[in-house]
C-alpha cells in the first residue's frame, strides 16, 4: 500500500455545516520511535500501550464557504481561550494532509481543544491532540463519502495523525499498537498504526502506567530536533536494527506472559533512547537527578520484593512506572511511599491501558 491509496476519489455527498467531537488518548511506547525519514516515515518500527486517562478532547465545527479559500481558514481555542501560538503547527499539519483531504480550503473551521492533564505537566499532547483532530476531520470526510468502511476510516485517521506527529498514529485504537514496517508483524506499515495482531497473555491486559512528573518544564529538545539528531548518528543503524529485534522478541513475551523478559526489553529501550540523545551531536541529558533516583528505587524495590514493576521514559525527565494489574495495590503503595517525593510538587498521574479514541 502506498500514500496514493489515501487520496480520495470525488465525494458523493455535500455537507454544509456540522460539529463533531473526539476524545483521543496519549500512548506510551515500549519499543521507541526515534529517527525518521521524509514525510514522517519512521526509521524503525515501534509498539505502544494506548493510555486512557491522559487524553485530548477536540471539537471541530465546520461550515462550507461560498468559495474555496486561498488559504486554510480556522480559529483555534485551547481550554476555552484563543491560542495563536498553536496555529503554525496546525497549518503545517493542514499543508501535509491537504492532498488527502482536498476539502480543507472549502470550509471555515473552529477547533476547540482541551487536555485532561495539566497544561504544563511536561506530558506531550501532540499524540492525543493530532489523533483527535485527525478523527474529527475524518468524520467530515465520512459525511462526504458515506460508503467509507470503519476499517478505512480508522486506517486513514491513523495515516493523517502520523503526518501531524508520528506517535499520534498509535493513538487511534488500543490497547497495543504497532507502527512501522516490521517483517515479523503481519500488516505492519510505515504509513499508519495497526492493532498488534497476535496473541497477548493475560499478564499484559489492564497494565498500569503511573506517570511521575519529575520536571514539568518545556521540553529541552523538541521531538523534531531529537529525531533529526539520528541523521548521521554513529550508532543509528545498530539502533534501528535493535528496534526490529526487540519487537520480534516481544512477540514471544506477549504470548508467554514472561514479565521478567518484558521488563528487560522495556527498560533497555528507554535507556537506549536516552543513550542516543547522550551520544548525538549536539548531545543532551534529558534525565534529571530525580529520574535516576526513581530508577534506582524501582530496581531496589524489585530486588527486595520480586515485583514486576518497571519504568520507561520518553524524551524527557518524567518516569512512566509500568506494572501489571495483579500487583497494583503493592506497587501503588510503593509509589506513594518512595517515589512521589521525587516528583515536582508531588505531582503524578495514574493512568492505565486504554482502548483508543471515542466519539463524544
Q: For ligand DP6, which residue has the nearest CB?
A: 166
Q: Does 171 bind ligand DP6 (CB under 6 A)?
A: no
d(CA 262, CA 247): 11
List the one residue from 120, 184, 186, 224 that touches ligand DP6 (CB under 6 A).
224
Question: Least separation, in Å, of the C-beta of 6 and ligand DP6?
Answer: 18
Question: Least separation, in Å, of the C-beta of 173 and ligand DP6?
Answer: 16
Q: Does 223 bind ligand DP6 (CB under 6 A)?
A: yes
Full 3-state SS string of 167-198: HHHHCCECCEEEECCCCCCCCCCCCCEEECCC
SS3 89: helix
List the one residue from 20, 22, 24, 33 that touches ligand DP6 (CB under 6 A).
33
Judged by CB under 6 A, which stretch of 6-14, 161-169, 295-303, 317-325 contacts ligand DP6? 161-169
Judged by CB under 6 A, which stretch of 53-61, 112-120, 159-167, 241-249 contacts ligand DP6? 159-167
Q: Does 32 bind ligand DP6 (CB under 6 A)?
A: yes
Find the helix or strand (DSSP H, E) in which 271 lies.
helix 259-278
Non-local CB neighbours of 56 within 8 Å, separated by 6+ positions:
23, 24, 26, 113, 114, 115, 116, 125, 128, 129, 131, 132
Q: What angle do CA 119, 46, 195 make, to 5 degrees?
A: 90
Site for ligand DP6 in 301-360 (CB under 6 A): 314-315
Determine contact, residues 205/325, Cβ cutoff 8 Å.
Answer: yes
Q: Does 263 bind ligand DP6 (CB under 6 A)?
A: no
Is residue 3 exposed (0-12), middle (13-18) or buried (19+ Cβ within 10 Å)?
middle
- Alpha carbon 67 to chain centroid distance? 36
Judged by CB under 6 A, which stretch of 33-41, 63-71, 239-247, 347-355 contacts ligand DP6? 33-41
Question: Least separation, in Å, of the C-beta of 81 and ligand DP6?
Answer: 24
List the one residue from 116, 126, 189, 290 that touches ligand DP6 (CB under 6 A).
126
Site for ligand DP6 in 274-303 (CB under 6 A): none
Site for ligand DP6 in 56-115 (CB under 6 A): none
* Count of residues interacting with ligand DP6 (CB under 6 A): 17
SS3 content of the chain, % helix, strand, coil (to 5): 40, 25, 35
| Residue 175: cis peptide before it, omega within 30 degrees of 0 | yes
Nearer to ligand DP6, 26 or 344 (CB): 26
d(CA 36, CA 41): 6
Nearer to ligand DP6, 61 or 134 (CB): 134
Strands (E), 67-215: 73-78, 81-82, 107-115, 176-179, 193-195, 208-212
Q: Does 50 bind ligand DP6 (CB under 6 A)?
A: no
List the one residue from 25, 122, 129, 166 that touches ligand DP6 (CB under 6 A).
166
Q: Which residue has the cell 508531588?
A: 346
Question: Least separation, in Å, of the C-beta of 224 and ligand DP6?
Answer: 5
d(CA 289, CA 267): 17
Nearer to ligand DP6, 246 or 307 (CB): 246
Non-local CB neighbours of 186 within 8 Å, separated by 6+ positions:
197
Nearer to ligand DP6, 223 or 251 (CB): 223
List the one residue from 59, 227, 239, 274 that touches ligand DP6 (CB under 6 A).
227
Which cell numbers in the block locate residue 267? 527498560
Nearer to ligand DP6, 45 or 324 (CB): 45
List the one residue from 24, 26, 46, 272 that touches ligand DP6 (CB under 6 A).
46
Q: Does 165 bind ligand DP6 (CB under 6 A)?
A: yes
Residue ranges that bind ligand DP6, judged by CB under 6 A: 29, 32-34, 40, 46, 124, 126, 165-167, 223-224, 227, 273, 314-315
Amino acid at each position: 500500500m502506498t500514500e496514493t491509496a489515501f487520496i480520495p476519489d470525488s465525494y458523493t455527498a455535500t455537507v454544509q455545516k456540522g460539529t463533531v467531537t473526539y476524545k483521543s488518548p496519549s500512548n506510551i511506547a515500549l519499543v521507541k520511535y526515534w529517527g525518521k525519514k521524509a514525510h514522517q516515515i519512521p526509521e524503525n518500527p515501534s509498539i505502544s500501550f494506548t493510555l486512557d486517562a491522559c487524553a485530548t478532547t477536540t471539537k471541530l465545527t465546520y461550515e462550507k464557504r461560498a468559495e474555496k479559500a486561498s488559504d486554510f481558514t480556522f480559529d483555534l481555542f485551547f481550554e476555552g481561550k484563543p491560542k495563536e501560538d498553536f496555529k503554525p503547527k496546525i497549518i503545517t499539519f493542514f499543508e501535509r494532509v491537504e492532498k488527502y483531504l482536498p476539502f480543507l480550503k472549502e470550509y471555515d473551521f473552529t477547533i476547540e481543544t482541551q487536555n485532561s492533564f495539566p497544561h504544563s505537566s511536561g506530558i506531550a499532547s501532540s499524540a492525543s491532540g493530532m489523533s483527535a483532530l485527525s478523527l474529527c476531520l475524518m468524520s467530515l470526510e465520512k459525511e462526504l463519502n458515506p460508503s467509507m468502511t470503519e476499517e478505512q476510516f480508522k486506517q486513514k485517521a491513523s495515516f493523517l495523525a502520523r503526518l501531524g506527529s508520528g506517535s499520534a498514529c498509535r493513538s487511534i485504537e488500543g490497547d497495543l499498537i504497532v507502527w512501522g514496517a516490521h517483517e515479523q508483524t503481519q500488516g505492519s506499515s510505515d504509513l499508519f498504526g495497526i492493532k498488534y495482531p497476535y496473541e497477548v497473555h493475560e499478564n499484559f491486559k489492564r497494565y498500569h502506567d503511573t506517570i511521575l512528573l519529575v520536571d514539568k518544564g518545556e521540553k529541552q529538545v523538541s521531538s523534531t530536533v531529537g529525531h533529526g539528531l539520528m541523521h548521521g548518528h554513529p550508532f543509528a543503524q545498530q539502533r534501528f536494527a535493535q528496534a526490529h529485534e526487540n519487537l520480534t522478541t516481544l512477540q514471544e513475551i506477549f504470548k508467554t506472559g514472561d514479565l521478567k523478559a518484558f521488563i528487560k526489553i522495556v527498560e533497555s529501550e528507554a535507556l537506549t533512547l536516552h543513550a542516543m540523545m547522550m551520544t548525538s551531536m549536539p548531545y543532551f541529558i534529558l534525565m534529571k537527578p530525580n529520574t535516576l533516583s526513581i530508577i534506582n528505587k524501582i530496581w531496589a524495590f524489585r530486588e527486595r520484593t520480586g515485583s514486576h514493576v518497571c519504568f520507561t521514559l520518553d524524551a524527557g525527565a518524567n518516569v512512566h512506572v509500568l506494572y501489571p494489574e495483579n500487583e497494583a495495590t503493592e506497587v501503588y503503595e510503593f509509589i506513594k511511599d518512595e517515589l512521589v517525593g521525587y516528583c515536582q510538587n508531588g505531582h503524578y498521574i495514574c493512568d492505565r491501558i486504554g482502548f483508543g479514541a471515542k466519539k463524544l
